[in-house]
Amino acid sequence: MKCLVAVKRVIDFNVKVRVKSDGTGVETVNVKMSMNPFDEIAIEEAVRQKEAGFISEVIAISIGTLESTEILRAALARGADRAILVEDDATRESINIAKILSCIAKREEPTFIILGKQAIDNDCNQTGQMLAGLLGWSQGTFASKIVIQPKEKTVLVTREVDGGLETLSLKMPVVLTTDLRLNEPRYMTLPNIMKAKQKPIQKITLQELGVDCKQHLKVLQVESPEIRRVGKEINSVSELVDKLKNEAHVL
């Protein structure tokens, strides 16, 4: 059974994000980039399931410029068998990413597709759900535990919900999105980094896939969050009410 894992190149989570002076987006020039943390968890889970004998091949896929090759190399160093890069220099909406992934899925015919539940650059949390809808597959989102049952051709997915834990039994093929508590990604060792340089990365263009990536959304303005004001000590309830009414304007 094949597993397709989508990975995204984003600004490293340790970097403080800066908004461009013209307000059209965030600054990415000379900024450290890395794999989306939730996608690291997705790769780790796919590799663990392969090591357990439930998955035969792990294929990493990324959509972006040639710079995304470094993210795919990191996925290969973590245990992916091969990688696919869909070359595209535009910032795509979730629905377009889902369309591209669905085309790759129809080519590769995987049993599992695993994604991070969201990317830390836009926090949309939409691609996995849209992809399952386009393919007509089962979906398990925010997975904190995954148990594959090959004889029954089902997957047990445990999710954290407000009231505790929810376990779903899903028929294969299935789209899964990973939550933080699913696993802890392994470190890339030097031997595996060197081996990853020999593993194949297939490059595909949008024209080859024939995907219509029409934009539905337009970013009007990007602004930095308001600087948090220093708190004030309140001596009485009446003073608190006065400030909430006349300064904060919430009453």
- Contact in structure between 216 and 99 (CB atoms under 8 Å): no
Of 135-139, 144-148, 152-156, 225-229, the one with minimum mean pLDDT is 225-229
Percentage, residues of the chain above pLDDT 70: 100
Of 40-44, 71-75, 239-243, the one with minimum mean pLDDT is 239-243
Domain-located, residue 247: no
- Give the domain extent around 40: 2-225
Q: What is the pLDDT of residues 179-234, one digit of tens each?
A: 998 999 988 889 999 999 889 899 998 888 888 888 888 888 888 888 877 887 88
- Contact in structure between 108 and 4 (CB atoms under 8 Å): yes
Order of strands, sheet of 164-171, starting from the edge strand that comes earlier in the sequence:
164-171, 154-161, 138-149, 174-178, 112-116, 2-6, 57-64, 82-87, 201-205
pLDDT at 248: 80
Domain-located, residue 118: yes
Domain-located, residue 241: no
Q: Structural domain tally of the chain?
A: 1
Q: What is the pLDDT of residues 1-57, one digit of tens each?
A: 899 999 999 988 888 888 888 887 888 888 888 999 999 999 999 999 999 999 999
DSSP lists the bridge partners of residue 58 as 3
DSSP H or E stretch at residue 46: helix 37-51
CATH number at residue 66: 3.40.50.620
Domain-located, residue 236: no
pLDDT at 3: 95
Domain-located, residue 107: yes
Rounded to the nearest 10 degrees, the angle between the axes of helix 127-135 and helix 94-108 is 50
Domain-located, residue 116: yes
Q: How wide is the angle at C-alpha 197 spanned by C-alphas 63 and 105, nearest 5°?
A: 35
